[in-house]
Every structure is written in structure tokens, then in C-alpha cells.
Amino acid sequence: MRSAKLLALLIGCALAGGAAAETVVVDGQVQLEQTSVARPGRGTTMHEVEAKFGAPAKRYPAVGKPPITRWDYASFSVFFEFNRVVHSVVHG
């Protein structure tokens, strides 16, 4: 169930494009919320993310093919495919 919600959240973020909003799943429904949290954009490298935002609070190992890696910061998480950002999600 948790992975289904995460997948819905990631798909929603992809559809949101460059909008200044976050996709939030509440009771199984996708909603948008405005956000002002600075976070890395799509295509940014791991090196660039770490240079701009510092070391993440937690790094998760890569899983799957292609390898997806997650870094957690205090207010957002970043998802990488290989070494490039594919999504960043503000914590609720």
C-alpha cells in the first residue's frame, strides 16, 4: 500500500512539471499544495545536489533497474536515476 502511494506521488510530481506546487496523496486522492521549499530540479547531478544542499541526512542504496537512489533532507527527498534527479518531493 505504501509503495502504491509513493508511486502515485511520483507520477503526480512528474505531471506537475515546473509548477510551484507539490503533489500530495490524502485518503487515496491526489491533491496539489503550494510550496516555497527550495529543492533540486530534474536532471541535476548528485554532485550538484550535494554542492548546493549539503550532505543528505540519509542515503538509501540504489534499487531496481534502472537503479533508483533516494536521499533524504530535512524538508524534502530527492530521487535519482543513475546519478541524475528524476523527482524531488517536499515532506508533508
Rounded to whole angstroms, the maximal C-alpha distance in the chain is 37
Per the confidence metrics, is the pTM higher than 0.75?
Answer: no
- Cα–Cα distance measured from residue 41 to residue 84, given in angstroms and rounded to the nearest whole number: 10
Q: Kind and range of the H or E element at 53?
A: helix 46-53
Give the pLDDT confidence of 9-63 residue by residue, as tens digits: 555 555 444 445 556 677 777 766 667 788 999 999 999 999 999 999 999 999 9
pLDDT at 13: 54
DSSP letter string, 15-27? HHTT-SEEEEEET
Give me the residue label for grid cell 536532471: 43
Domain range for 62: 2-90
Domain count, the chain: 1
- Cα–Cα distance measured from residue 6 to residue 44, given in angstroms and rounded to the nearest whole number: 21
